[in-house]
Amino acid sequence: MKAVVVRRPGADDPLEVVELPDPGRPAFGEVRVRLHGSTINYHDSLTIRSASTSSGHIPLADGAGVVEEVGPGVDDLAAGDRVVAGFFPFWNDGGPTDDTFGRTAGLGIAGHAREIIVAPATQFVPAPRGYSHTEAATLTVAGLTAWRALVTDAAVKPGDQVLILGTGGVAVFALQFAKLLGATAIVTSSSDAKLERARELGADHTVNYRTVPDWGRHVFDLTGGGVDVVVDVGGPATLPQSIGAARVGGLISVIGVLTGVDGPVPTGALTMKQLRLHGLVVGSRAQQRQMIRALDGTGLRPVLDRTFALDDLAEAVRYFSSGVHLGKVAVAF
């Protein structure tokens, strides 16, 4: 079978298209899935470029395809089912567990940049009706992260005000979900063209953070006292402004580290506003199933910026890393 592996960790051209042995038939509790689509996430690009990644590692957390065979003991999936991968295959329900990155496809274990995978059945759930494989693959990480941030954790309701930083995969899903829930959505970007596209997708207000450097205060004034929820994908460099934009008692969900992994936090403002500061990483299988039921009922579709072939994964990663995309960059097999 064809696959793409990290052959030269840390090199300028780390990826190589290879032929690997067929993974065979599924054992007890496993499924064999022929993969047809994936999309690229920020942590995928980090893993691919990292010098510490093992040579031969198969990247990409997202994956979607068709079940070819189920092993003994699997009764919730069947041959022919269209499925999408979950991020944490053993976090079924309830609060976060210690089942973190060690058993996550594309990070702790081999990912989905390949034509066929044999894996635990818990790694897949049925895909939404009518979705293409690349559309379904967006729901492994980006879709579920936005869903958990707004629905599971923030319980956004009609009339709430939501600030969304950026126009990447998670941010665009957050915009779509915010409007689906009846909230007012404010989107930031450094690109006027992307902000115009965000308005076409339903954004009520947009802010160019290049031309409005004090965008946190601007959003606070614009909303008459701050937003209920901030979806912060930036991390340490954006957090102080997110705190400034939030209302008293608001929630800030930190879901990204685009500006780094640590930095100072204005604890005085955080305390005086009595804010809830919440870090999250994707979500559980139960949350993913809930999201997919909602998508089946509403007809909401992901925003795919551009699609590449599996052979062209290196080019896709370069395009993703350039930051010119809006929504998701897809890979079709």
* Cα(235)–Cα(261) distance, integer angstroms: 7
Tell me the percentage of the chain whose pLDDT exceeds 70: 99
Question: For 135-165, how does the pLDDT look when each residue is reduced to its tens digit (9 = 90+)?
Answer: 999 999 999 999 999 999 999 999 999 999 9
* Cα(176)–Cα(146) distance, integer angstroms: 9
Say if residue 261's pLDDT is above 80: no
Complete edge-to-edge strand list for the sheet that includes strand 227-232: 205-208, 184-189, 161-165, 227-232, 246-254, 276-279
Residue 97 has a pLDDT of 74
Sign of CA dihedral 3, 4, 5, 7: positive
Are 177 and 65 within one domain?
A: no
Say if residue 100's pLDDT is above 70: no
Torsion angle, CA of 118/121/123/124, rounded to 10 degrees? 100
Are 152 and 26 within one domain?
A: no
Q: What is the mean pLDDT of residues 118-139?
A: 97
Partners of residue 232 on adjacent β-strands: 254
Residue 264 has a pLDDT of 81
Q: What is the mean pLDDT of residues 164-188?
A: 98
* Cα(79)–Cα(137) distance, integer angstroms: 19
Are 15 and 59 within one domain?
A: yes
* Cα(82)–Cα(124) distance, integer angstroms: 10
Domain boundary among 279, 298, 317: 279
The residues, ordered by sequence, that sit 6+ positions from 106 with a Cβ below 8 Å of its Cβ are 43, 44, 47, 58, 59, 60, 61, 62, 112, 113
Question: For 191-212, how does the pLDDT look when each residue is reduced to its tens digit (9 = 90+)?
Answer: 999 999 999 999 999 999 999 9
Q: Which two tokens stand for residue 30?
A: 């496993």
Model confidence band, residue 309 (pLDDT cutoffs 50, 70, 90):
very high
User: Is 210 in a helix, a strand, or coil?
Assistant: coil
Domain boundary among 240, 257, 279: 279
Are 289 and 314 within one domain?
A: yes
Q: Which two tokens stand for residue 172?
A: 């665009």
Q: Which is higher by pLDDT, 262 or 121?
A: 121
Question: For 232-251, how does the pLDDT look when each residue is reduced to its tens digit (9 = 90+)?
Answer: 998 889 999 999 999 999 99
CATH number, position 204: 3.40.50.720
Are 152 and 114 within one domain?
A: no
Say if residue 262's pLDDT is above 90: no
Q: What is the number of structural domains in the chain?
A: 2
Model confidence band, residue 263 (pLDDT cutoffs 50, 70, 90):
confident
Q: How far apart are the first and last CA of the chain?
A: 12
CB 232, CB 254: distance < 8 Å: yes
Question: For 52-88, how does the pLDDT look when each residue is reduced to its tens digit (9 = 90+)?
Answer: 999 999 999 999 999 999 999 999 999 999 999 999 9
**Mean pLDDT estimate for the chain:** 95
Residue 99 has a pLDDT of 59
List, in sequence order, the alpha helices (H) in the chain. 42-49, 133-137, 142-147, 169-180, 192-200, 215-222, 239-245, 267-272, 285-298, 313-322
Amino acid at 121: A
- What angle in degrees, to the nearest 10, is found between the helix axes of 42-49 and 313-322? 120
State the DSSP string of 137-176: HTTTTHHHHHHIIIIIIS---TT-EEEEE-SSHHHHHHHH
Q: Which is higher by pLDDT, 234 or 99?
A: 234
Are 112 and 160 within one domain?
A: no
Residue 257 has a pLDDT of 74
Are 309 and 293 within one domain?
A: yes
CATH number, position 327: 3.90.180.10
Q: What is the mean pLDDT of residues 304-326?
A: 97
* Cα(140)–Cα(313) distance, integer angstroms: 18
Partners of residue 210 on adjacent β-strands: none
Are 207 and 230 within one domain?
A: yes
Are 6 and 136 within one domain?
A: yes
- Residue appearing with tokens 């955080």: 270
Amino acid at 65: G
Q: What is the mean pLDDT of residues 261-270?
A: 85
Q: In terms of residue numbers, what domain contains 203?
A: 143-279
Q: What is the mean pLDDT of residues 255-277?
A: 86
Q: What radius of gyration, in Å, describes the C-alpha atoms of the chain? A: 20
* Cα(265)–Cα(251) distance, integer angstroms: 15
Are 78 and 50 within one domain?
A: yes
Q: How far is CA 304 from the centre of its chain?
A: 13
User: Is 326 in a helix, a strand, or coil?
Assistant: coil
Are 16 and 31 within one domain?
A: yes
Are 24 and 136 within one domain?
A: yes
